[in-house]
Structure 1
């Protein structure tokens, strides 16, 4: 992170993926795909946390360095900035179900960095962004198809 000028940064996003207790495998296919995105220059990983929320709502946060077997993630572990503070962890874990495990990924969208830099140089700034869950897109397409069959 330190070798990149702030003016050259792309948009930074985060995501949280949650698994029921005992069903997570962050070092398998998920790790392989994340490393592929990094190696392809699509994203730069800024921080990764593993959160565990017990049945009473107590949160345990683990950095990658706290995990003995990283699998493919060992290739990106040394570059992490550990950006998230304790307050961030509490806020992120609020979305989790008790008894679950979640992975938190903070990443820079390298693919968008040139556009973001050009926008800032032109005096523009990002004022909103969002994400449409794939489940919502699928539901919308299925509803349209049902409507066409019934009405058409």
Structure 2
């Protein structure tokens, strides 16, 4: 059965203080790509100025080196993200910050998804639990032990 199978597709908006793009985050993301755990569909860097104005930062510009390694993802544009997505992302950001808006596939899940589909399985519900909620719940559990 030749079916195009994908892992779950997610997006992240990771906000940093304007001067904190050091490259560590981009290197960690590239490591995930290199190990085949994720595939990047889109990666945009958005800046929100102190006055609240917003600018897309060009990952291909000569000054992209100051974008903390995210310039390595300059070609990651699938078309899944549009102007409305950038507007929504910017609305969630605080002034004087920069953020990476990333759409990625969880490629580690492809064999599992393929096996489920081969046996008639289909996703009927899916949700993401924020890591901070999990950490808070585990801390609360530890406090009762």
Same fold (TM over 0.5): yes
Picking from 37, 41, 48, the partner of 1:42 is 37
Please name the residue that 1:124 is paired with: 122
**What is the Cα deviation at residue 50 of structure 1?**
0.8
**Count of paired positions:** 141
Pairing of 1:2-151 with structure 2 (within 5 A): 7-25=4-22, 28-66=23-61, 68-69=64-65, 73=70, 76-121=73-118, 122=120, 124-133=122-131, 135-148=132-145
CA contact 1:9–1:113 (8 Å) conserved in 2: yes
**What is the Cα deviation at residue 120 of structure 1?**
4.2
Matched residues in 2 for 1:76 and 1:101: separation? 16
Moved more, 73-82 or 113-122: 73-82
**What is the Cα deviation at residue 64 of structure 1?**
2.3
TM-score under structure 2 length normalisation: 0.79
Runs of 4+ in 1 over 4 A off after TM superposition: 70-76
Task: Return closer, same or farther for 1:119/1:59 CA change in 2, 3 Å cut-off.
Answer: farther
TM-score under structure 1 length normalisation: 0.76
Structure 1 alignment gaps of length 5 or more: none
Structure 2 alignment gaps of length 5 or more: none
